[in-house]
Amino acid sequence: MKTNQTELMEDLYNLLLNPATRDWERSQIRTAKIGIDSGANFDDQIANLEAILRPLALRNNLTPDVTDFYLKITNSALAGSSFDLSVHYQKDPPNQARAIFAGGCFWCMVEPFETKPGIISVISGYTGGHMDNPTYEQVVGGYTGHVEAVEIIFDTHVWSYKELVELYWQLTDPTDAFGQMADRGSNYRPVIFVANEEQRLIAEQSKLDLAISGKYKHPIMTAIEPATTFWPAENFHQQFYQKNPRRYKKLKRSRQQFLAFQRMQMKLRHGWRR
């Protein structure tokens, strides 16, 4: 094994304590740990656990932290180091600010921002809910009131908040209050979370400008809400487009096709009006 035994044993212990681990996953992990603690061959127990987890792993149906563990024990190239969240917890210097946007699955909301010059960090996470430290399973299940969102830390010398809001409109369907594209449910609703009065005024004016532009046949439904605690998502979800490029390309293509079709309808509608 390329990963040392001590590290994997710590992973097993943490997964047993992790509230996001499903009961079935926990039972398999517990069996492997008990076997190792009882003197069974370490590599054999890990290999057996990998074989048991494999069917769900191949269908992308393991919980995020167990997925990270599976990638580690299979020496997958996708098993990178933990995403550095330190910038999320640091106080912003004078030339930095933050924007929080929700626009459907956060897997598709990172790359369009992160690859732009002047963007310092884009973190996937959960916000707008009513419980602390929510897990992906809880949020997707609709138990916490959170939405999937991205926290964008940007250089104010390069980007203005207004420019980021304008880019956000290009990535989402603002007429859909109940999700985005194939992502349905309250946890996927589009929201601009504003940190202060200045951001609120900019977001509201931008939304008003979009509404009176006549680009959309239906009302603009994107909510503007005060920012609350932003909880970073599990490591598996951070920079998903880099870790899972093939899967991300399919999701991105589907999203782009929908938005392109929507924009074509806008142009046709404007043409008819003329």
Active-site positions read 105
The length of the chain is: 274
Contact 180, 103 (CB under 8 A): yes
Is the sign of the CA dihedral 235, 238, 240, 242 positive or negative?
negative
Rg over CA atoms, the chain: 21
Distance CA 1, CA 214 (A): 60
Contact 19, 135 (CB under 8 A): yes
| Cα angle 203-206-118, degrees, rounded to a multiple of 5 | 70
In one-letter notation, the amino acid at residue 196 is N
Distance CA 128, CA 134 (A): 11
